[in-house]
Amino acid sequence: MEIRGKRLRLLIKEEDIRRRVEELAGEISSSFSWDEPPVVVALLKGAFIFASDLVRAFKRPVIVDFMRVSSYGHSTESSGNIRILKDIETDIEGKEVLLVDDILDTGLTMKEIYEFLKMKKPKVLKTCVLLDKKERRRVDFEADFVGFEVPDRFLVGYGLDWGELGRNLRDIYYVED
């Protein structure tokens, strides 16, 4: 597989993702009280595939909502200022909320969105990412649920893009240097 002349190397197979997403859904499901339906908040665009598989692995009804954020400046030198392009539409006050993203890199995005959602006074706010590039972390933030720890490589597929291409790939690849 290639994107713009760069080779993609397989990192995580579709079948392994599927199995891990099922496991995560089980762990997350047991952590919810289910007193009322939890709200799953997915970050667009990267988390759209992961979130759609994750919510379908829950055996009870949940509410799904989305946020779209963009970081000011260039993503590789994240300033820590993120801009909210689309907020959630659900009132999450007093609710159990799960914030979902594709990948935790520097941690700036998840930390800021976590604090933003906290101000809306949810009863519980938990976080889940499919992938975690631990060695890239620049702020003190860890997700409650992590699918896979991954190496510091640029990853594509299963929602993750390289210049907007490759989100539709079923497996996760790294871009070869």
**Of the listed pieces 26-34, 45-53, 112-120, 148-156, which binds Mg ion according to CB under 5 A?**
45-53
Concerning whether 16 is annotated as a catalytic residue, the answer is: no
Per CB under 5 A, which region of 41-49, 90-98, 121-129, 130-138 contacts Mg ion?
Answer: 41-49
For residue 39, give the H/E element and its range.
Answer: strand 39-44
Query: CA nearest 141: which of 174, 177, 111?
Result: 111
With CB under 5 to 8 Å by kind, the binding choice for 108 among ligand IMP, Mg ion, none is ligand IMP
* Residue 105, helix vs strand vs coil: coil
Q: Applying CB under 6 A, which residues contact ligand IMP?
A: 46, 75, 78, 101-109, 154-155, 160-161
- Catalytic, out of 105, 132, 140, 171: 105
Q: Which of 32, 114 has the CB closer to ligand IMP?
A: 114
Closest approach, Cβ 44 to Mg ion, in A, equals: 8
Q: Give 14 or 161: the residue with its C-beta nearer to ligand IMP.
A: 161
79, 70 contact by CB (below 8 A) = no
CA-to-CA distance for 101 and 50, rounded, in angstroms? 8
What Å distances lie between residue 115 and 54, 59, 76, CA to CA? 23, 29, 22
Catalytic positions:
105
